[in-house]
Structure 1
Amino acid sequence: MSTDTDTRRAPRRQVAELVPVTDMLAEAVIGRLGNVSETGMLMLASVPMHEDALYQLQFAIPGPQGQPLALDVGAHLLWSEQTHAPGQAWVGFRFLTLSRDHRERLRDWIAQETSAV
């Protein structure tokens, strides 16, 4: 089984609430989270993005006591697809770097939604 197949099969959490994603180098919000797994994420981008580029991103998920926990990820933009809304695109990222603590917290948060279904 290939790594790409493994990555695509990782449990995902659909994100209904508005979770802004910040490009740490540009110091600007570039979109919002669509869904996330411990290996990557789908984002609705509100700025032009470059396929096959590397990004340093940050977004927040609920921490252990419900407080926002900012996750810093190094990510590779794999693909993008324009939406019907001008200036917006769906983009798919694969995580390259994510600290062990943040990966565990993300895994727990994803599992909460999966077990609630």
Structure 2
Amino acid sequence: MTADTDTRRAPRRQVAELVPVTDMLAEAVVGRLGNISETGMLMLASAPMHDDALYQLQFAIPGPNGQPLALDVGAHQLWSEQTHAPGQAWVGFRFITLSREHRELLRAWIAQETSAV
């Protein structure tokens, strides 16, 4: 089994709520979460993204007491596919940097959904 196969098998959380994703370098919202694992995410992009580029992204997830917690991730764009809506695309990212604390918070949030199913 390759590392790519391992990351694709990581538990994922489908994100039904609107979770904006901000490009920290551009200081602009570039899309919203579609689904997420502790190793990467699918984003519905509303701004142009560049293939094979590196991004510093931020998004918020609910914390242990329900308060929003901002997570910062370094991400590598792996692929993109245009949607039927003009100016939107599905974009897949692999996380290349994520602090231990943020990874644990993300893992717990993902586990909440997978245990509720």
Q: TM-score range by the shorter chain?
A: over 0.9
Alignment partners' CA distance in 2, 1:65 and 1:101 = 16
Displaced runs of 4 or more, over 4 A: none
Which amino acid is 1:91 matched to? V
How much has 1:64 moved relative to structure 2? Answer: 1.1
CA RMSD across the alignment:
0.3
How much has 1:12 moved relative to structure 2? Answer: 0.1
Which amino acid is 2:53 matched to? A
Equivalent residues in 2 for 1:10-29, closer than 5 Å: 10-29=10-29
Percent of residue pairs identical:
90
Alignment partners' CA distance in 2, 1:15 and 1:27 = 23
Alignment partners' CA distance in 2, 1:116 and 1:51 = 35
> C-alpha offsets along residues 29-86 of structure 1, whole Å, 9 cap, x if unaligned?
0000000000000000001111100000000000111100000000000000000000
Q: TM-score, normalised by structure 2?
A: 0.99
Q: How many residues align?
A: 117
SS for the counterpart of 1:87 is coil
Please, which runs of 5 or more residues in structure 1 have no aligned partner?
none
Q: Determine the structure 1 residue equivalent to 2:71.
A: 71
Alignment partners' CA distance in 1, 2:96 and 2:33 = 17
Which amino acid is 2:21 matched to? V
